Amino acid sequence: MTITRIAIILTLALGMAADVATAQTPPAATESASTKNPGRVKWERRGAATGRPIVIVPSFGLSPKHWEKLVGLLESNHPVYLVTLPGAVGVPAGGPPYLDNAAASLSEMIRREKLEGAIVVGHWLSVPVVLRIAADESVPVAGVALMPLRVKPPPPDVRATLAAEYIQRTQAIQDDMWKPSVRMTIQTLTDDTALHDSLQDELAAADRAAYTACVGETLADLYEDMLPRIRVPVLLIANVTLPMKSDHEEIQSMTVGQRAQMMTDRLKTLFPGLRKCQFSTIRDARMFMMHEQPGPLSRILDRFDKKLADPDFAWDSTPPQVPSTQPGPASQPRS
């Protein structure tokens, strides 16, 4: 897979959240990002008055609306905080480093709202942001749940160069070709035509320069270096397309269970050095699990909630890896 393909998938396989409230829920609390204070996250509170808070962090460039089905299943038992990262429509982007600045703003929001014991959920381009939250011991979360890209990153010593090349190529795309190029890739990520339209409209309206820079930071990010510092449990969730739908003969011959194990093994190699972790898979789903399979995803998060409450639960771990030493243009993980 070429670096251009990796970057395109990073750019477009994104997550969102919801705005479903019931008569039993307290009035929603919101905080809008100010044009006088760019670079801050926007958030909205939904759901129950009590229970473990769940903080949903969609990818850069997208609002929370595509998580609506999942939030409808979570909000009866949890306060749900729906975050929009800087650079999406209506949220001023601020400036680089985007990953670190978004993490700092999200950390501030978690502390200010007193979300001790929360679960923070990250999806694709928001995964590096949520990893920074998990690695920061001053942020009082109980655990994080991640739906990451399952593509092996380039070697550390070439990431900065490849990121710069990606940014240069993307900046060269003419404005009138940006929206069509977005749609072409979206069509490879989900079969839902209505979702194609919604994602395309949101991404086309996002801050393109900030979004491109964020993808560049993600490509250059030495995320492996922060993994051994994470003390809270990490739940890694993989979508599993049915083998019969694959274009590759060797995958078509697999059982669904074999395909799921393959995805789990890949996650273990991509996230070395985790002290406490769990792995889950969602079958017959593509990139947008929260939209395509909200029921299984809600049950996975509920089980994670119960495991976090059990002091005797035996967490898995992943084998360590020698830390990378080559710096990239994105700032190093915060201590």
Q: Is residue 314 part of a domain?
A: no
Between CA 30 and CA 256 the distance in angstroms is 42
Q: Please report, rounded to a whole number, the percentage of residues in the chain having pLDDT higher than 70.
A: 84
Among 29-43, 145-159, 178-192, 287-301, where is mean pLDDT lowest?
A: 29-43
Domain count, the chain: 1
pLDDT digits 0-9 by tens, 23-38: 344 446 666 554 456 7
Report the pLDDT value the prediction gives residue 37, as an integer from 0 to 100.
62
Q: Is residue 297 part of a domain?
A: yes
pLDDT at 296 over 50: yes
pLDDT digits 0-9 by tens, 37-59: 678 999 999 999 999 999 999 99
Burial class (CB in 10 A: 0-12, 13-18, 19+), 309: exposed
Tokens of 229: 């510092």
pLDDT at 191 over 70: yes
Q: Domain of 144?
A: 3-308
Q: Is residue 14 part of a domain?
A: yes
pLDDT at 162 over 90: yes
pLDDT band at 134; cut points 50, 70, 90: very high
Q: Is residue 325 part of a domain?
A: no
Report the pLDDT value the prediction gives residue 31, as an integer from 0 to 100.
63
Domain harbouring 213, CATH code: 3.40.50.1820
Length of the chain measured in residues = 335
Q: Is residue 255 part of a domain?
A: yes
Burial class (CB in 10 A: 0-12, 13-18, 19+), 314: exposed
The 10 Å Cβ neighbour count of residue 168 is 11
Q: Is residue 17 part of a domain?
A: yes
Q: Is residue 332 part of a domain?
A: no
Q: Is residue 315 part of a domain?
A: no
Average pLDDT score over residue span 189-215: 88
Range list of β-strands (E), the chain? 30-31, 42-47, 54-57, 79-84, 118-123, 141-147, 234-240, 277-283
Give ∠ CA 70-74-80 in degrees, rounded to 5.
95
